[in-house]
């Protein structure tokens, strides 16, 4: 029996675990396992995983846009490296700045691992930096202050993507392959505009973000954004002032507030529509 995950097995910026209940309920209310579900910006694969939980016999296509599968396939190496660092920090206070000479020992350990194998710097960041802070390579790590937030147990990704078809291609190519079918539901979670996207591959400009709106035209979709992007307000303005069709007309909106720290918060938004 496949294991059900409530969140992605390895850290990932922007994963959709907070939408688990409304997303699953919307799937149950509107679709079935005869549809094909295409996760255009797969990210951590969590939306694909949730879909498989609801419809275990459906065809689910996960576009591994950020090469998350590479991180999953190297989880044993990541656990081994964390185990070494965990031993170094065994007597060190939790959540405290790591000072010399221990900091240098950790950097040397990472440097050695980087030379001889694979290092998942995003996962390591969650154990050696504060929340929402990520590095993607050794050079970035060397510049940062390190803290003892080391994970106490190993990561387990076994069975996470079982039964899911994994591809890796430009989302436009994948969309074109399925856009003319009536039995397809697109899961659309692009990197958020006006939000730090440091762990994503590539840099997203406004044009890139707006291009994604083509995937909403005459399709079944689940689309994810935030109030920081103002995309809903933009589409509303274009409809009122430029006679443009609002692709969100008729969509159901689910909003969840997210508190980043004591002074900063934003609203995550899910919109879904059945044509």
- pLDDT for 94-106, tens place per residue? 999 999 999 999 9
Q: Quick check: bond before 101 cis, omega within 30?
A: yes
Whether 259 maps to a domain, the answer reads: yes
Q: Are residues 252 and 267 in the same domain?
A: yes
End-of-domain residue from the set 83, 109, 143 = 143
Q: Are residues 89 and 61 in the same domain?
A: no
Q: What proportion of the chain, given as a percentage, has pLDDT over 90?
A: 72
What angle, rounded to 10 degrees, do the helices at 20-30 and 46-54 form?
50
Q: Are residues 55 and 176 in the same domain?
A: yes
Give the 3-state secondary structure of residue 37: strand
- pLDDT for 119-153, tens place per residue? 999 999 999 998 778 899 999 999 999 999 999 99
Distance CA(74)–CA(120), nearest Å, equals: 8
Q: Are residues 85 and 61 in the same domain?
A: no
pLDDT at position 129? 94
E-only strand ranges, the chain:
36-39, 59-63, 165-167, 184-188, 220-226, 252-259, 265-273
Q: Which domain holds residue 80?
A: 74-143
Q: Which CATH number goes with the domain that contains 30?
A: 3.40.50.150
Q: Find the length of the chain.
A: 275
End-of-domain residue from the set 103, 128, 143 = 143
What residues pair up with 258 in beta bridges, in sequence order? 266
Q: Are residues 40 and 119 in the same domain?
A: no
Q: Are residues 179 and 264 in the same domain?
A: yes
Whether 100 maps to a domain, the answer reads: yes
Residue 1 has pLDDT above 50, yes or no: no
pLDDT at position 132? 74
Q: Are residues 57 and 105 in the same domain?
A: no
Q: What average pLDDT does the structure give for the chain?
A: 91
Q: Are residues 30 and 85 in the same domain?
A: no
| Measured CA distances, 149 to 102, 122, 125 (Å) | 14, 14, 9
Strands 265-273 and 220-226: antiparallel
Residue 171 has pLDDT above 50, yes or no: yes
Contact residues for 178 (Cβ-Cβ < 8 A; gap 6+):
36, 38, 61, 184, 186
- pLDDT for 83-95, tens place per residue? 999 999 999 999 9
pLDDT at position 241? 92
Q: Are residues 229 and 250 in the same domain?
A: yes
End-of-domain residue from the set 143, 178, 201 = 143
Whether 236 maps to a domain, the answer reads: yes
Nearest to 48, CA basis, from 209, 179, 188 = 188
193 band by pLDDT with thresholds 50, 70 and 90: low
How many structural domains comprise the chain? 2
Q: Give the neighbor-by-neighbor strand order of the sheet with 220-226.
A: 165-167, 59-63, 36-39, 184-188, 220-226, 265-273, 252-259
Contact residues for 254 (Cβ-Cβ < 8 A; gap 6+):
19, 22, 26, 269, 270, 271, 272
Whether 201 maps to a domain, the answer reads: yes
Q: Are residues 59 and 79 in the same domain?
A: no
Whether 33 maps to a domain, the answer reads: yes
Whether 9 maps to a domain, the answer reads: no
Q: Are residues 63 and 81 in the same domain?
A: no
- pLDDT for 10-37, tens place per residue? 998 776 889 999 999 999 999 999 999 9
Residue 194 has pLDDT above 60, yes or no: no
Q: Model-level pTM? A: 0.91
Whether 116 maps to a domain, the answer reads: yes
Up-side HSE of residue 101: CA atoms within 13 Å toward CB? 2
Please state the separation of Cα 173 from the chain's center in Å. Answer: 20
Whether 139 maps to a domain, the answer reads: yes
Nearest to 161, CA basis, from 31, 32, 69 = 69
Please state the separation of Cα 1 from the chain's center in Å. Answer: 25
Q: Are residues 128 and 195 in the same domain?
A: no
Write the burial class of residue 248 (CB in 10 Å: 0-12 exposed, 13-18 middle, 19+ buried). Answer: buried
2 band by pLDDT with thresholds 50, 70 and 90: low
Residue 233 has pLDDT above 50, yes or no: yes
* Mean pLDDT across 154-163: 96
């Amino acid at each position: 029996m496949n294991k059900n995950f409530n969140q992605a097995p390895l850290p990932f910026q922007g994963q959709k675990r907070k939408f688990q209940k409304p997303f699953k309920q919307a799937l149950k209310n509107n679709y079935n396992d005869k549809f094909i579900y295409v996760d255009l910006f797969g990210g951590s694969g969590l939306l694909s995983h949730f879909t498989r939980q609801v419809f275990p016999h459906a065809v689910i296509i996960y576009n591994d846009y950020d090469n998350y599968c590479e991180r999953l396939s190297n989880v044993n190496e990541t656990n081994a490296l964390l185990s070494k660092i965990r031993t170094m920090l065994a007597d060190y206070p939790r959540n405290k700045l790591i000072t010399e000479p221990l900091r240098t020992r950790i950097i040397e350990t990472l440097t050695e691992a980087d030379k001889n194998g694979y290092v998942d710097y995003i996962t390591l960041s969650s154990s050696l930096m504060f929340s929402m802070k990520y590095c993607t390579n050794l050079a970035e790590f060397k510049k940062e202050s390190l803290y003892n937030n080391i994970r106490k147990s190993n990561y387990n990704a076994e069975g996470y993507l079982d039964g899911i078809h994994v591809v890796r291609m430009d989302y436009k190519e994948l969309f074109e392959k399925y856009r003319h079918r009536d039995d397809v539901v697109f899961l659309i979670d692009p990197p958020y505009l006006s939000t730090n996207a440091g762990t994503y591959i590539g840099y997203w400009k406004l044009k890139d973000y707006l291009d994604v709106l083509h995937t909403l035209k005459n399709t079944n979709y689940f689309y994810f954004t935030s109030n920081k992007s103002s995309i809903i307000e933009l589409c509303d303005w274009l409809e009122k002032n430029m006679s443009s069709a609002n692709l969100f007309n008729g969509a159901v909106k689910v909003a969840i507030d997210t508190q980043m720290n004591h002074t900063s918060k934003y609203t995550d938004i899910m919109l879904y529509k059945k044509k």
